[in-house]
């Protein structure tokens, strides 16, 4: 209501929990590590790892480790035996994809904004990326808004999640 006393709300305005992933923005390894740690504590790591493996099948495990005083996400792969490596050294696209999944989990019933989703991802993996994002977002009841300039990325939505068409909308700016 607008009155002589100013703007008044009958109920307090709601706050929206949101996470944003700008294009070409350096990810904070400690933030991603904290989010992975939260997933592990809730015993949700098997579900998370299964989705990661749909896009990156060579990954066998994921963990939070300390490297020179900085907490980072490490992965085990089928190709490197005997030790885990920092995820950022494995694949840049994987680093971003994992951060996005963990961002979804960090704001249940919230919003995740992703600018240029396809950055760093091989175009043939995009249908699996969309499937994984949809599955994770549905699990956490999180709404995802993703932008792209890539026709391959848009086509991959159709290929990846044709069974859940009602969950997607396309807004095109010209």
Cβ-contact 132, 125 below 8 angstroms: no
Mean pLDDT over all residues of the chain?
A: 90
Q: What is the DSSP string of 33-61?
A: HHHHHHHHHTT-HHHHHHHHHHH-TTEEE
Q: Which residue in the block uniquely carries the two structure tokens 């961002």?
A: 103
Cβ-contact 101, 51 below 8 angstroms: yes
| Portion of the chain with pLDDT greater than 90, in percent | 67
CA terminus-to-terminus distance, the chain: 37
Burial state string for 144-156 with b = 16 or more CB within 10 A and e = fewer than 16: bebebebeebeeb
- Higher pLDDT among residues 24 and 47, named by residue: 47
From 9-18, 120-129, 137-146, 163-172, the region with the lowest mean pLDDT:
9-18
Q: What average pLDDT score do residues 95-123 get?
A: 95
pLDDT in tens, 79-104: 888 899 999 888 888 999 999 999 99
pTM over the 0.75 mark: yes
Q: What tokens appear for 118 in the block?
A: 């396809």
């Amino acid at each position: 209501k607008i009155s002589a006393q100013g703007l008044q709300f009958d109920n307090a305005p709601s706050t929206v929990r949101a996470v944003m992933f700008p294009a070409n923005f350096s990810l904070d390894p400690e933030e991603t590590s904290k989010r992975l740690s939260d997933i592990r504590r809730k015993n949700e790591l098997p579900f998370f790892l299964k989705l990661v493996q749909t896009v990156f099948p060579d990954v066998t495990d994921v963990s939070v480790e300390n490297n020179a005083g900085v907490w980072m996400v490490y992965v085990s792969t089928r190709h490197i035996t005997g030790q885990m490596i920092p995820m950022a050294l494995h694949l840049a696209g994987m680093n971003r994809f994992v951060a996005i999944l963990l961002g979804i989990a960090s704001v249940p019933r919230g919003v995740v904004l992703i600018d240029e989703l396809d950055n760093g991802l091989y175009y043939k993996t995009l249908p699996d990326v969309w499937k994984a994002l949809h599955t994770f977002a549905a699990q956490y009841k999180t709404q995802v808004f993703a932008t792209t300039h890539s026709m391959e990325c848009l086509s991959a939505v159709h290929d990846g999640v044709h069974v859940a068409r009602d969950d997607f909308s396309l807004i095109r700016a010209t």
